[in-house]
Each structure stands twice: as structure tokens, then as C-alpha cells.
Amino acid sequence: MKTTDNVSPELRKIEKEIDDYYKSNPLLKLPFATAASCLLRTAEEYMLNEQINGVLGIQDRHALGSDFINEIEHSMSWIYRDCEQGGKIPFAYASDIHKASKDLFQLGQKYDWFVFAYTYASEGILELEHQGSTIQPTGDFFANIEYEAYNILVDAHEPEEAQFDLNPDDFPSTAILDSVRVQGDRFRYELNPKMVADTKKYLPPLFDRMFLLPSEWQFRCYALGDFQKVFETVCAIAHVHWAAHIIAVNQGVTHKGYLDSIYVLTYGKLIRCIARCSDISPITVKNVLDDLTYGGSGIKKPIPALQPLIKLNSRSYAIVPHIWICSSAERNFTTLLNRLPDQKIYEKFTNEKEGLMKERFTTGLCDKDFKFISVNITNLTDVDLAIVNHSEKACLLLELKWFIAPTTARERINKSKEIKDGVSQILKLKQAFADNHRPLLDKLSIDTSYKLEGVVVSQNWIGYGNVQNPEVPVIRANHLMEKLKTTDSLRATMEWLKDREYLPKEGEHFTVHRPTTTIGNWTIKWYGIKSLTENTFFPLDCGCTRH
């Protein structure tokens, strides 16, 4: 049991002051429906302004979308926790409420940095010090920062990551443009099945990257495929509303269409619309939406990324376009499944996910002169997947990790521990090989004249520098697959891994900067990774394509 605090009492006192700072915001004195609708409109206004100002590269677009999803969590949790439930949705612009909403949203953006810093400090991953009113990390946290840079730079084109790069001007449906009507500070359009259907035809590239797991997986009241169809339909509605919003702005709507920036409708109308546009029964649609409703299905501390459908009051629900557009849907849904009080079933599919990873390697590399072996070594451990090239006398051991991609500080700490456990498994197997462990050699059909190395292969995140080991590289699954596809030499790939050639280099591929942000009397000096490459990062010598 932990008996000492890694954070000083003085810094804990500062933390309490920062945690309570939001309480002075006037929005907290309003009913939830009023406060939430104003806050969410302000969040959409922020995303609209960012796009109008121009978000250029893949990395910038990805960062904007993922940061938005994380940052809205804090301000929403404050009003959900402190505001009285119910209330009315205002449909008149009030400058004082707009300012309070903007202040609270911006506070949530700033607060996220403090949360990361204090969470890491509490776990001993970094040390915090404060000089005057400035708090900053010290110690060796920034050593091996290339691992953190890798996680960030590769994310933008990983399949499960949402891509916030769709242009409403290119939508195939002219029905949206024809339908939008602007009057003063309001805009209207009549959503119809054709708009949704046309938009759904436009979005498959997004959905194909987002959904990787088998659609037939069955949960309590619906299958994963049902969730996918419901999400795709609501996401299409979100895109329609976003497109209508931009059209209205181009037509001169006052206040940039702030009052109608979120799509508000009744629950019954939403269920009927989705059922009609997705060919799913209304009861199945309702079951999915009940789980996706903010604070629904018994979730005590809801998160917009996991439950993106916002119930404002007993009658009105809100679709906030960019909460859906920027969502990593499958990742968030699987996280939600583990939090539902009566449905902790996702763990059951862990072995199936490992099986999917194995299948992707074996089928994706079937034209290579490789042998693939998965075995349990009695009194030792499992070999998730071994790739053997007998002509080269080379064997690469893969420890496979497909956990839910971490986003919060706590999730990243926990998943780093899983990466560390994977490294330990590879070290154990390498030591057994060095000790001429006969069961291992026999199961792999190799001998001690072979070159044997091991690698932890993660589907979505490789951990921080503090859990890395010089003997065991950690790499993303798609990256290793691309490398193996472009070479016939397994030994060359093993050297590439051992030399960490897959990692980006500071000063060549990225830079580290130290931005600051302030809440109340306190400023934190944090860190950021800025890409120096035009698009997503893959080392040029691996033969991977740039997108």
C-alpha cells in the first residue's frame, strides 16, 4: 500500500485551488439544460473558428479533433455535477451567458494540462516543482521523448483514430444547400433521409478506418454491427448539421449561427430517424442510444467521448456535431462497455482481438518465406506469435498487445504498465533461448545457431520512455507490418528494430516546446510535440508510404 505522497503538501494545496476554480463561473448557477446547451454551442463555435482560420496538416487536424474530445470532458463534468438537472434551452443570444460559456470551455482546455501533470506526479512518473506562481515538471521525464513523439506522430493515420478532414463543400448532396434558410441569428433546414443517405455514401473512408472489430460480436441487447450502423447514421446527421451550419455562416447568419450550432430534437424523433435510415429496429436503436446517452445506463461519471448523445432535459436531446465527428467510435465504445455496471463483457474478447492481430500478420505476409508459430511453452510462457525464416536462421518473437487505446493520463499510466509486462515476457523468452531451453527451441523448430530477437507489438500505443528496455523494442502493429511487407530479410528487420530506426528523431521529425497556461494564480509550464514532417511520420527507409 502506498504510504507516501509524491507531491508536496504545498503543491496539493495549490491543486485544490485549481480544482475548485471553476465554481466561480456563473454558468454553474443555471439549470443543466441551459448551461449545457450554451456550453456545447460555444464548443462548436470554437471548432468553427478553428476551421475558418485554417487547420492545415494532418497532425494539426488530428490534434484539434482529439484535444477537443478530451477538453470538453472537464467543463461538461462540472455542469453535470453542480447544475440542477432539467431546465429550458435558451434560444436568444445573451452576451453574458456566452462569455461565461466561453470562459468555462477555455478553463476545461487549460485544466487538462494540470490534470496530466498532477496525475503523473502522483504516480512518480515525474516530479513537480513550483517557483513563485509557476509549476513545472522536473527530473528525467523528457528523456527518451521520442517514444511519446512516436505515439503522437503515428496516430494521425492509424485506422481507429477519427479523421477530422472532411470538407462539407464537397458533400454529394445538394439537398442541404437547397434547404438551408437564414433569418437573423437563426438558421433552419429540414433534415430528410436523402441528406442522411447521401452523406453516409460520402463517409465510408472514415468508417473503414474507424471500425476494425468483427461486426457479429454480440453484447447484451445488440451486436457490434448494430452499434456501428447507429453510430454511422448519427455521425452522418452530425455532418449534415455541420455542413448546414457552414452554409448558414457563408450566407451571413448573425453570431455565426451560434444558437443553432447544435442539433436539438426529441428522443422519439431521433430513434425514428435512425431506424428509418439504418434499417435497424427502433427497439435496437433505442438500446444502443440508451448506452450512448450522457449519464445513461448507470454511468456515474459520464464522459462525452464515450456517451456523446447529450440529454438536455426530459424532452430534448442534443447532437453536438464535433463530438461525433471527432470521435474514435470503436475505441470509445469498447471503453464504455467496460464501464457499464451490468455489462463488463469486453474482457471476454481480449483473446479474440489477439487472434485478429495474428491473422493480420499471417495473411498480410503470406507471400513471404516466413513460418508463423503460436505456442505455449510449459513452465515458461506463451509465444503469441513467432516469425521464423529458416533460410536466414532468424526468429522474431512478437508479444501482442491490443488494449483499448489510452487517452487520459490514468489510462496511459495503466497501459504503460501493460507494455512493461509485455517487455518482461519477451525478456523471459530471450533468456530461455540463451539458456538453450529445449522445449522453446523444439516448439519453434530452431536451434542456438539462429538469431533470435523479440518485440512488443501494440495495436495503438507504445508507452512512454520510462517503460522501455534497450533489449526489447516496442512498435505499432501496422508499422511493423509495413516494414515486413517491404523486405524479404527478417534479419534486416530485426536490426532495424534493435537500432530503433522506427522512432522519429528530435530536430529532424519533431521538436519539443514548453508552452504555458494559467488558471487563477497558477501557471503550468508543460510540453508539446510539434511535427516537422508534412504528413504522418514513417521512417523513409522502411518503405512505408506517406499519406
259-293: per-residue pLDDT in tens? Answer: 999 999 999 999 999 999 998 999 999 999 999 99
CA triplet 196, 52, 152: central angle to 5 degrees? 85
Q: Taking a C-beta distance cutoff of 8 angstroms, is the pair 285, 274 a contact?
A: yes
Q: Percent of the chain, pLDDT > 70?
A: 89
Q: Which long-range contacts (CB under 8 A, 24 or more apart) does 140-143 make?
A: 141/466, 142/512, 142/527, 143/465
What is the rounded CA–CA span in Å between residue 262 and residue 90? 12
Tell me which fold the domain 348-503 belongs to.
Restriction Endonuclease (3.40.91)
The residues near 173 (Cβ < 8 Å, ≥ 6 apart) are 194, 195, 198, 199, 240
DSSP string for residues in 21-79? GGGGSGGGGS-HHHHHHHHHHHHHHHHHHHHHH---SHHHHHHHHHHHHHHHHHHHHHH
Domains of the chain: which residue ranges? Answer: 9-343, 348-503
Query: Which secondary structure element, helix H or strand E, spans residue 138, and what is its range?
Result: strand 134-138
pLDDT of 540 reads: 40
The tens place of each residue's pLDDT in the chain, 547 residues long, gives 456 789 999 999 999 999 999 999 999 999 999 999 999 999 999 999 988 776 555 556 656 777 788 889 999 999 999 999 999 999 999 999 999 999 999 999 999 999 999 999 998 888 999 999 999 998 777 778 999 899 888 864 444 444 444 455 555 557 888 899 999 999 999 999 889 988 888 887 677 777 878 888 888 789 999 999 999 999 999 999 999 999 999 999 999 999 999 999 999 999 999 999 998 999 999 999 999 999 998 898 999 999 999 999 999 999 999 999 988 888 888 888 878 765 555 556 666 778 889 999 999 999 999 999 999 998 898 999 999 999 999 999 999 998 777 888 888 888 999 999 999 999 999 999 999 999 999 999 999 999 999 999 998 899 988 899 999 999 999 899 999 999 889 999 999 999 999 999 999 999 999 899 999 999 999 988 888 876 556 554 444 433 3
| C-alpha R_g of the chain | 25
- Quick: pLDDT tens for 450-484: 999 999 999 889 998 889 999 999 999 989 999 99
- The rounded distance, in Å, linking the Cα atoms of 502 and 504 is 7
Which one, of 87, 94, 100, 99, lies nearest residue 23 by Cα?
A: 100
What CA–CA distances, in Å, run from 492 to 341, 392, 499, 500? 48, 10, 11, 12
Strands 181-183 and 528-531, bridge-based pairing? unpaired
| DSSP state letters, 148-213 | HHHHHHHHTT-TTS------GGG-S-SHHHHH-EEETTEEE----HHHHHHHHHH-HHHHHHH--S
Instruction: Give strand pairing partners of 131.
Output: 134
Composition of the chain by helix, strand, coil, percent to 5? 50, 15, 35
pTM of the model: 0.85
